[in-house]
Each structure stands twice: as C-alpha cells, then as structure tokens.
Amino acid sequence: MSLTHLNLSNTDIIGNIPSTISHLSKLESLDLSSYRQVGLELNSFTWKKLIHNATNLEEIYLDSVNMSSIKGSSLSMFNNLSSSLVTLSLAFTGLQGNLSTDIFSLPNLQGLELSSNQNLGGQFPKSNWSTPLRHLGLSSSAFSGEIPYSIGQLKSLTQLVLSSCSFDGMVPLSLWNLTQLKYLDLSQNKLNSEISPLLSNLAHLTSCDLRGNSFSGKIPNIYGNLTKLEFLDLSYNKLESQVPSSLFHLSHLSNLDLSSNKLLGPIPIEITKHSKLSYVGLGYNMLNGTIPHWCYYLSSLLFLHLGYNRLTGSIGEFSTYSLQYLVLSKNNLHGHFPNSIFELQNLNHLHLSSTNLSGVVEFHQFSKLKKLTFLNLSHNSFVSINIDSSADSMSPYLYSLDLSSTNINSFPKFLARLPNLKTLDISYNNIHGKIPKWFHKKLLNSWENIQYIDLSFNKLQGDLPIPPSGLQYFLLSNNNFTGDISSTFCNASSLKVLNLADNKLKGMIPKCLGTLPSLSVLDLQMNNLYGSMPRTFSKENSFATIKLNGNKLEGPLPESLILCTKLEVLDLGDNNIEDTFPNWLEILQELQVLSLRSNKLHGTITCSSTKHSFPKLRIFDVSNNNFSGPFPTSCIKNFQGMRNLNDNQIGLHYMGNSDYYNDYVVVTMKGLSMELTKILVTFTTIDLSNNMFEGEIPKVIGELNSLKGLNLSNNGIAGNIPQSLSYLKNLEWLDLSRNQLRGEIPMALTNLNFLSFLNLSQNHLEGIIPTGKQFDTFGNDSYEGNAMLCGFPLSKSCKNEDWPPHSTSEDEKESGFGWKAVVIGYGCGAIFGILLGCQVFLTGKPRWLARFVEHMFNIRLKRRNNRANANRRRMN
Amino acid sequence: MGSFFILLPYFTFHLFLFLLFTHFTSYTFSLCNLHDKSALLQFKNSFSVNNSSQPDIESRCSSFSFKIESWKNSTDCCKWDGVKCDTMSGYVIDLDLSCNNLKGELHPNSTVFQLRHLEQLNLAFNDFFASSVHLVLVI
C-alpha cells in the first residue's frame, strides 16, 4: 500500500489493531484516536513492528487506544521512535511505567501529549533539552518531583500542561523565560513558594492556571504586561496579598478565579472600560471593603462569586442584567434587599445566605426569574420574607431551595407549584401546624428527583410525611411531630440519613429500618418510641450512627448489631433495655462511641482478652444501670482508642464526614450532663457511675493516657486510689465519689495538670490532702464525707501540720463569685471554646460555616435531675 | 419577429455544439479512473448519511458536511467533494470524508480498499457501528 496518511479517528471501530498495519511502511501520519474510549487496542508487538517499519512517521495520534499491555521493559521501545516524529499523542492509552528521557529529546518533536495515563511517569532531561517542542501535555499522569530547570531550554514551547500530577517544590525560574508560552496549566500539584514576578515576561500568555497548589505569599501586581491574558485561575492556594489592581486593566481577561486563598483588603474598584470579565471568583478569602461598583454594571459579567469574605456595606442596584450566577453569601453586608435582583432575567444561581440584609422581600417577585435553578436565602434573620404573597409561577427549573432560618412562620404554599425540586431546606424557622396535604402528595407522586428534605427545628405537628423512594436525606428533628413511624418509610430505599430526633413520636420503630441498604445515620433519639429496637440488620449495611436514646425501648439488645461493621456511634442511653452487657459488640472495629447509660442492664462487664476488642472506642458510658461484679478491667485494658492520642498530631478533627449530620452525644463532663454537638476525635471518657461495681481500681487504667474524663462514682469500689491514675496526663475530670475507697490520696495526682474537676467525697479516704498545682483549686465538696481526711481546703487541720487559715474561702462564699466559680467557669469555658472554635476553623465546609450560628445554640448544657444533686451545690 | 425565425437555425446549431462539448467533458475527457469511480460509488451506497447528527461528534467537527451527497455517476469523480486524483494517472490518491455523518459498517470487502493508489484516507468522525478494526485494516 502506498498510504501515507490514515485517519480513522472517532469512527467507533473496535478491536485489536492488526499487526499488518506495520505493512504501511510509507505512513507519515496515523490517527486512530478517539475522544472517548471505544475499545481499540494496540499490543506491544504491533506497536514495535509499526515503529520499526514506518520510519517516516511524523504524526501519531492514538489517544484513547488501549495500549496498557505496553508496560515495564516494553516501554523502552519508545526509544526507537523515528527521529522524524513531529507529533506524538497518546493520551488516555493506559501506558504504564517509566519513560526514559529520550522521548523528550526527539530532535524534531513539536507536540507530545501523554495526559491521562495515571501510571505513566518518567524523568525530564536535566540538561540539553533544546528541542523544538511546542506542546507538552502530561496532565493526570504519574510524573512527579520538581520541574527541572532545563525546561527553560524549550524556547518554542507555547503550551505546557502539567496539571494533576504530583509536581512539588518551586517552579524553576527558567520557566518564566519561555516567552512564547500561550497556555500554562500547572494546576492541582503540590507546587509551593511565591509566584514569581517574572511571570510578567510571558507577554503572549492567554491562559494561566495555577489552581490547587500551595503557592503562598503575594500575588505580584505585574499583570499590566500580560495584555493577551484571557484566563487566570489562582484559586485554592495560600496566597495572602491584596487582589492585584493591574488585573482589572486587562482588556482581554474574561475568566478570573482567585477564590479559596487568604486574600486581604478591598476588591479593586477601578476597571478598564474595555473589560470583558465574565467569570469573577473571589469567594472564600478575607476580603473587606464594599462590593465594587463595576459588579453592578459590567455587561459581560455572567458569574460573580464574592461569598465567604468580610465584605461590608450594602448590595447596590444592578444596572446590567447579564448575570447568571451570583453568590454574595456569608459576608457582613447589611442594608435592604436590592430589588434590581428581580430584574436579572438570566439568573440561575442566587446565593444570599448570611448577609444580614433587612427589609421585606415579597417572595412572589422571584417568579420573575424564569431561569432560576438554585436559590439560597438562608440565615437572614433580619429579612422578612413575605412567603404568603402568591408566587404564581416560580421558575419551573428551580431544583434547590434553601430558606433555612429566614423567619418563615407558615408552610410555603408555592412549593406546590415547583415541579422539579431536588433539595429543600426550610429548617430553623417558626413553621407551625400540620404539614399540608398537598406536600404529602407531592412527595410521593410528583417530586421524582427529590433527594434532600430538611424541615428540622420548626414547630411542625401531626403525622410525619412519608419519604419517597429516591430520597437520601430526611431531616425532621426538633419538631412536635406525633404519631408513629410508618413501615412505609422503608420504601425509601435510598435513604442515607434519617433524623427524626426530638419529636413526640410514639409507637414502635419499624423493624425494616435495619434493612435499608444505604442508611448510615438513624437518629430517633428523644421521642416516646417503645417496643424493641430493630432486630434485623442486614449484611453489607451502611450504618455509622444509630441513636435511639431517650425513648422507652425495651427488650434485649439485638445481636445482629454485629453486622453493622461500619458503626461508629451507638447511643441507646435513657431507655428501658433489659439485658446483660453486649460484649459481643467488641468486634465492631470502627465503634468509637458506646453509650448504654440509664437502662436496666445488669450482670458483670467482661470482654475477651484479644487486643482487637473495642479497638477504637473513645466514649464508654454504662452509667446508671444495675451492673455488678468486679471492675470491668478485661474491657478497659483493651481500649486502644484511649491511648496515645495526640491532639497535635491528629489535629482537631471531629467525627463524621457528612455535611448533613453531626454526631453528637450526651456525656457527663465535670459533673454536668452536656450534649457535645460535635465529637472531637480526641475526646475520651469512661463513665461507670451509678452501678454496683465492686473490687479495686486496676493499675492498668493508668495506661489509658488519653483519657479526659473518668467517672466511677456511686459504686462499691474499694481499695486504694492507684498511683497509676497520675499517668493520665490528659485527665480533666475525675469523679470517684460515693465508693468505699480507703487509704491516702496519692501525692502524684498533683501531676495532673489539666485536672479541673475532682470529686473524692463520700469515701473512707484518710490522711493529708495533697497540695500544689491544680489541687490548690479544689474546694471542700471535693473531699467531704471522708472523716479521716485533713488539711486544705477542709477546716480540719492535720496533726503536726501548720496549715494556713481558711478565712478567705468564707469571704468568697458570701460574695457569691469566689475563686472556685472562676476556676470551674474557666474549665468549662475552655472546653466550650475549643469545641466552638474548632468547628469554625477546621471544618472548612461552607455548610458548616453557614450554620455556625445555629450550632452555637445547639451546644446545650443540660443538667439532668438524677445527676445534678451533688453538682448543683457547686454551681450555686 | 421575423428575424427570430431567421436566426433559429443558428441558435440550434450553437445549442448542438454546446451539448456536444459538455457531453465530451463529462464522459470523454473525464480524468477519473473508472475502476476507482465505481469503487467510490459502491462505497457510498454501503452507508447511509445521517442527517440527525450526534451532537457530541458535531461539536468536535469544525464544519459538518455531506460531501458524499455530491457524488453522481454522471460527473468526474476527481471533482467530487473529498476526492483528489493524481493529475497524470487519474487514480484517486486522497479521500477525505471526515465529519460526513456516514453511518454503517465498514466491511473488509469494502470497495474503499480497492483504491490501490490511495495515499491519504481520512474517515474521521463517522459512525462505523463498532466495526472491527481487524476487518477495517485489511492491508
């Protein structure tokens, strides 16, 4: 055959490329590529023969051809590629292994495209890289390490695409000498250091994408030279400077994304008359000042994201109606809701949550926005949304509506006319009364795409709505729903999170809930449910959180719980469950929180002696039961999850990954019953209080060195306080009251530097109370009821000891605000501070930030009657 | 009116000459190799041209044409859209039917493979119904 050019690209032909293709020895150009993988294969034998015979080949395009059989040593055949080769394009071919540097040094090669070969790596030439290469594409490949200085020798390079690899270190300064570059994409790597001002050398640059690296420091204000720049993306870095004003004088720039950095200062107010900006992303920074005027009149603007900053002032009136996407959420804006928003005919996304706007919004105005798909007005407690005003024809495309915390007090009727709802959030409002009948009908018959419904924190009454089959998130907690949970709930087989907590639900829990395959959070706590908990959990279930506490559940614990291999939180506290200790749960390798408090559990607590029993348990609460027998040493000594946790190493992480659900739990902390809205991964407690445990405290407890709280009060525990307790360096509260403890208080306990609550009262302890450090902060009630104890702070002084007078404590009691109160306040406050602070700084999820205010109110301090008697005195 | 009848034979003669001339250019002076022409026409008939184009392919073709529609038995195949011949021999040397919305299977006995002097073949962006490359590249 005399064929020199063969192009069968994108023709849907499939199969193994026959080796006879190598008979085309005159071939100069071969294109069998495809923009999607169709099933063409090229094996290493054919490839070898082809490049051996077709020595005139100048162009090879085999993108999406499966060449995955060419790996390891057979990759070396690339070294035999014809030196006449001008273009080699092998993206998405499944090539694997390490390419030698030779391929980069082919003397005539102008285009090399090896992108999307995740297991293909190699080395760049470290020197002598002066080739006529114009295009180099290696995105989503296994190339890594530093970009070598030699890249600066590729003087003809116009396109450099090294995105989504693992390049790290600094960008070599030589790269900024590639003055022919038009297209530069280094996004999604680990490049760091500052962005060099030499960037201004690249006068031909039209597109520059450096997103998703670790670039830090300033953005050089040097963009005046880059007159051809159309696209600039520096988002998701650690840049700290101001927004460079020179960017806004570039008349060709249409796409500017600097979001998710640490940018400070105001947004430049001056902009060139010829600006073509259509996409402006400045969200998730720390920008202050006001929204610049050009945002309102620039007629090219389609996308404007200024959310999650510190912008102040009011939102002005728009005089151009080009905008399609507008995000101003989470700023310090105030003033009236701008009416001109309703004139933005092309708007499809509008996010104005947490903007402190005021005034009245006539909701029917939104029906003017015929293309609206996404509307978020949440957390605007000063705006009064007139939801009753008839919204005749809202955009039929509206699929996401968030009106959480917007002072709505009736169920929005216009929802009935939305055909395509996918997510609905009207939580944290004052909606009262029953859910209208049309909503039940819409749910089951019309809204085929609905995935997310949040009606929680309202005053809704009556029966629960039935979730439709496609629903994934059904959040109805903290309402006044009555009635029972229908077994038709189980038709919602896609459910991931079902939260019906804090209602007045009665009846039994449908047995079938345990068989929903995707359900990961089942929260039915604080209702009036009775009967037994679901007894059949299917294999391969997804449960991570089961919270059924605060009901009237009875009967034994279902052994099929051991099938919940992903279970992290099991809270069955405050029920009437009668059973022995479920030590068979010890095989759940992910279990971190086990609360069985306040039930009718009895018998001894023992575990198998394997090291893998309860390996991750961090909160173990069996208080207020009828457990008896010796101290549960066999369990406690295996709690690997309570050892060697390091706040600094782990960082302040919280449990759970869901944006839509917090794992929270009630624990008794420093004598107070508290609800932790989010559980720190390093939060570790053991509560065995109010049972009938006997025997001694084992020494081994000193190995649980991450323990923050230990409560053994009101048992029959005898013997001495072990010295090893002093190894619990993280201990913040220790309650051993109402036991039969004897002997002296170990001096070593004064080494517990974080101890802020100590209760040793009502025992048979004797001798001198240790002093120094934290022990100087505890009051009488820490020790009372121990007839043989003496010394500070008790009024009984020890023989032969000369303790200072105690008159000060009397004075303070009268003043009502003594040093004890300060200390207790400080201790509790510190815990609160950490919990709250970390929630804000570390989650980084917009949804969390948006809900920050609500969570503040969620950290509720509860004093439980049965626990508080002793503590009330302290707090008063 | 009379002058029209006088000139009529004159017009008729010229019309005859014109028809004769066009006849010769299309048949007698055709450059196209007849074997190649019949191979191309058979190739054309083995496909349907899909007018309802797939949007994803369309977006990748800078222009979308139906070159093959212009192929008529009565015309010189070297002047057909997408066809180039060797100016001396008249053999088809270049066939470019890319982005032509051809639909159908490409068989090993497809007449396109009878174009012995073909140097450039471009059939990109058509739909050959997952034809086996083994059968397509009968070389």
Nearest CA in chain A to B119: A3
CB pair distance less than 8 Å for A11 and B126: yes
Amino acid letter, A81? L
Nearest Cβ partner of B134 from A5, A6, A18? A18
> Which residues numbered 27-86 in A keep a CB inside 8 Å of some CB on B?
31-32, 35, 38-40
CB pair distance less than 8 Å for B130 and A21: no
**Closest CA relative to residue A350, chosen from A411, A394, A389:** A394
Residue numbers in B near A38 (CB within 8 A):
130
Residue numbers in B near A1 (CB within 8 A):
118, 139
pLDDT tens for A63-106 read 999 999 988 777 888 888 888 999 999 999 999 999 988 899 99
B126 and A CB contact within 8 Å: yes
Residue numbers in A near B119 (CB within 8 A):
2-5
Nearest CA in chain B to A41: B133
Mean pLDDT of A38-44: 87
Per-residue model confidence (pLDDT) at position A519? 94
Nearest CA in chain A to B106: A13
Angle between helices A865-875 and A819-843 (to 10 degrees): 120
d(CA A300, nearest CA chain B) in Å = 24
Nearest Cβ partner of B98 from A2, A7, A32? A7
Per-residue model confidence (pLDDT) at position A657? 47
pLDDT tens for A804-856 read 443 333 333 334 444 444 445 555 555 554 444 444 444 444 443 334 334 43
What is d(CA A90, CA A389) in angstroms, rounded to the nearest whole number?
60
Per-residue model confidence (pLDDT) at position A847? 44
d(CA B119, nearest CA chain A) in Å = 4
Selected for mutation to probe chain A from B107, B132, B137 (highest A CB count within 10 Å) is B137
* Cα-based distances in Å from A530 to A578, A726, A727: 13, 44, 43
Nearest CA in chain A to B126: A11
Residue numbers in A near B115 (CB within 8 A):
none
**Closest CA relative to residue A510, chosen from A491, A496, A526, A497:** A491
What is d(CA A32, CA B133) in angstroms, rounded to the nearest whole number?
10
CB pair distance less than 8 Å for B117 and A2: yes
Nearest Cβ partner of B124 from A1, A7, A14? A7
Residue numbers in A near B86 (CB within 8 A):
none
Nearest Cβ partner of A9 from B119, B124, B130? B124
d(CA B37, nearest CA chain A) in Å = 18
Residue numbers in A near B106 (CB within 8 A):
11, 13
| Strand, coil or helix: A487 | helix
Task: Look at the pTM and tell me if it is higher than 0.90.
Answer: no
Selected for mutation to probe chain A from B85, B133, B134 (highest A CB count within 10 Å) is B133
Burial (Cβ within 10 Å: 0-12, 13-18, ≥19) of residue A306: buried
Residue numbers in A near B59 (CB within 8 A):
none
Residue numbers in B near A35 (CB within 8 A):
60
What's the mean per-residue pLDDT of chain A?
Answer: 86
Mean pLDDT of A753-781: 90
Strand (E) positions, A282-328?
Answer: 303-305, 325-327
Per-residue model confidence (pLDDT) at position B111? 84
B98 and A CB contact within 8 Å: yes
Nearest Cβ partner of A12 from B98, B116, B128? B128
* Cα-based distances in Å from A604 to A46, A233, A698: 72, 63, 16
| Strand, coil or helix: A627 | strand
Count the alpha carbons within 13 Å of A42 in the hemisphere toward its beta carbon. 29
At residue A567 the predicted structure's pLDDT band, cuts being 50, 70 and 90, is: very high
pLDDT tens for A376-434 read 999 987 777 877 666 567 888 999 999 999 888 889 888 888 888 999 999 999 999 99
CB pair distance less than 8 Å for B126 and A38: no
CB pair distance less than 8 Å for B139 and A39: no
Nearest Cβ partner of A40 from B125, B133, B139? B133
Per-residue model confidence (pLDDT) at position B52? 59
Residue numbers in B near A9 (CB within 8 A):
124-125
A793 preceded by a cis bond (ω within 30 of 0):
yes
CB pair distance less than 8 Å for B123 and A11: yes
What is d(CA A531, CA A547) in angstroms, rounded to the nearest whole number?
15
d(CA A143, nearest CA chain B) in Å = 29
pLDDT tens for A461-516 read 999 999 999 999 999 999 999 999 999 999 999 999 999 999 999 999 999 999 99
Check if the beta carbon of residue A543 is closer than 8 Å to that of residue A520.
yes
What value, to the nearest 5°, has the Cα angle with vertex A632 and ends A627 and A637? 155
At residue A150 the predicted structure's pLDDT band, cuts being 50, 70 and 90, is: very high
What value, to the nearest 5°, has the Cα angle with vertex A133 and ends A129 and A134? 140
Residues with Cβ within 8 Å of B5's Cβ and at least 6 positions away in sequence, in order, are none
At residue A262 the predicted structure's pLDDT band, cuts being 50, 70 and 90, is: very high
